[in-house]
Amino acid sequence: QLQLVESGGGLVQPGGSLRLTCAASGFTLEPYAIGWFRQAPGKEREGVSCISHSEGSTYYADSVKGRFSISRDNAKNTAYLQMNSLKFEDTAVYYCAADPWVADCDPSDFGSWGHGTQVTVSS
């Protein structure tokens, strides 16, 4: 069974950067599409960024485009989300997820989930 664990969250000032890591275990991550999602208090979980298993296709939400970058290292069974120029509205619990086939970068398309890591952007 594929298991995912997020790390790298924390408190950061506006304009700062964080890199989130999604470490997989139990099964190789290579054949899976990977997604990063976030959920802020009082809001629904939303897709932030997704990457295909072949790395040939990526998606970014409009709100993070140009600021965030998704990547993966299949040899390390790990995925990343580099977050730059962070804003107050980026504050949320961030989740990584994986699935062997997805149509969209939507939470409902993903079957395997981590438990999340908190990102707080505050001055």
Q: What is the pLDDT of residue 115?
A: 97
Q: What is the pLDDT of residue 85?
A: 98
What are the pLDDT tens digits along the chain (123 aa)?
899 999 999 999 999 999 999 999 998 999 999 999 999 999 999 999 999 987 679 999 999 999 999 999 989 999 999 999 999 999 999 999 999 988 899 999 999 999 999 999 999
Q: What is the pLDDT of residue 53?
A: 86
Rounded Cα distance between 17 and 86, Å, is 6
Token pair 């296709």: residue: 57
Q: Calculate what percentage of the chain has a pLDDT beyond 90.
A: 90
Quick one: three-class SS letters along 46-62? EEEEEECCCCCCEEECC
Rounded Cα distance between 27 and 4, Å, is 10
Q: What is the pLDDT of residue 1?
A: 83
Q: What is the pLDDT of residue 78?
A: 96
Cβ count within 10 A of residue 102: 22
Cβ count within 10 A of residue 33: 23
Taken in order 53, 21, 65, 61, the sign of the CA dihedral is positive
Rounded Cα distance between 96 and 116, Å, is 7
Q: What is the pLDDT of residue 68?
A: 98
Give the residue among 110, 28, 36 at the shortest CA–CA distance from 73: 28
